[in-house]
Amino acid sequence: MTAVYPANVGASGGPGGPQRSGRWTRQDSSDICTDDEGPPPRRLTPLEKLNLDMCQDDKVVREMAVGRRIGFYKIRGEIGCGNFSHVKLGIHALTKKVAIKILDKTKLDQKTQKLLSREISSMEKLHHPNIIRLYEVVETLTRLHLVMEYAGGGELYTKITMEGKLSDIDCKIVFSQVLSAVKHMHDNNIIHRDLKAENVFYTCSTCVKVGDFGFSTVSRRDETLNTFCGSPPYAAPELFRDQHYTGVHVDVWALGVMLFFIVTGTMPFRAETVAKLKRCILEGAYVLPTWVPEPCQKLIRAILQTQPSERCSVEQMMACEWLQPVDFPKAVEPFKLDPLYLAESGLAELEEDEIEVRNALETLGITAEHIRNNQGKDCRSSITGVYRILLHRAHKRRAMESMPVVTHVVNGTEVKKERLKAYRSLRHTSKLCIIL
């Protein structure tokens, strides 16, 4: 049976698209657009079909009504739980898997709304291969949805809890990525304030990303803060002293606790109650197993100093003996968050990956007119969401060359393999290049 759809659905398939007289029909499971007069029938683009289904398909309409779909995203099972939210797997109908952080707007007080605004702002400012990327913000009457990069490998905390401590080389690979991400944050005056293994996520077996910026804030290195944030086992001594604190030093302490955890599989400060935990942290009382490599022991001791001014800096960590064999990942060039430049630039003005993204958008049915109509909506636009997902896909392939490389020394000689072979084998993944 042929279904006939109203003529007021734009030929572009979505709001703001050019209008033209015609009718939409579905014949033999293929979507076709026919004009009353003129050109022969043509198939709908993926975007046109999706917009049509959101209006006409009973199953899709039901999913939207019960919260199983928002915008272009199908919502599936829960994959995590944040401070004020639930994180669920999302499937973008046109592109790929995403993570969707869902917040109940009716439960957001003024303080929580401020934290949420900071979280969105922080993620928009950061451009690094080891930081979770924000794609889109979708708002309904009762909920707010933050659509983010999906890290399918799970939490670093879960991996270590289930499988035990990491090997020395894996510790270097994981910690160097986290360290590089934190340096990028601090270089942009962003303090995370909730660094912990539960907020580091695997995208594959050797690539991790820092996420959950719910407690992040903007603060210069010489500025002090006074809000207690984060998890008690990772909290720096000055937080328990109810003092004003420097954000950079608090993040550094949390890095030391995390390093201890990934190297030993246990936490440095453990107690049955928060009061006892506080005492342990204030005293700086922890015991390093003797089997931890001496250079790593030196690094942990240099970080876990109870006096903030005596802690080593992120730059000093990156230059330490234990991490000398590591080439750290680099921050990527700031990427354009608004796709408008794609519609206004000629091919000669675009980079190779930008041309790739523009072609992918056109294949989906997102035209230059869609992009122009999208101007100024930032992350609260479905067109921007698709663009950012496709741009990130291109960036991930390009960023492989900046991932950390660990050179292993055998009998005093560096043993290396051709980078090209390693990159070729990882061409369609975001794995790290480990040179042994």
State how far the Cα of 92 lies from the Cα of 242, in Å rounded to an integer.
45
Closest CA to 200 of 173, 240, 238: 173
3-state helix, strand, coil in the chain (%, to 5): 40, 20, 40
* Chain mean position to CA 224: 27
Query: Is there a catalytic annotation at residue 338?
Result: no
The binding site for ATP consists of 101
CB contact set of 409 (below 8 Å; sequence gap of 6+):
325, 415
Q: In which element (H, E) is residue 260 found? A: helix 247-264
Q: What is the DSSP letter of 401?
A: G
Rg for the chain, CA atoms, rounded: 25
User: DSSP states of 300-345 as a string?
Assistant: HHHH--SSGGGSPPHHHHHTSGGGTTEE---PPPPPPSSTHHHHHS
Catalytic residue, chosen from 194, 212, 251, 338, is 194
Hey, which residues are catalytic here? 194
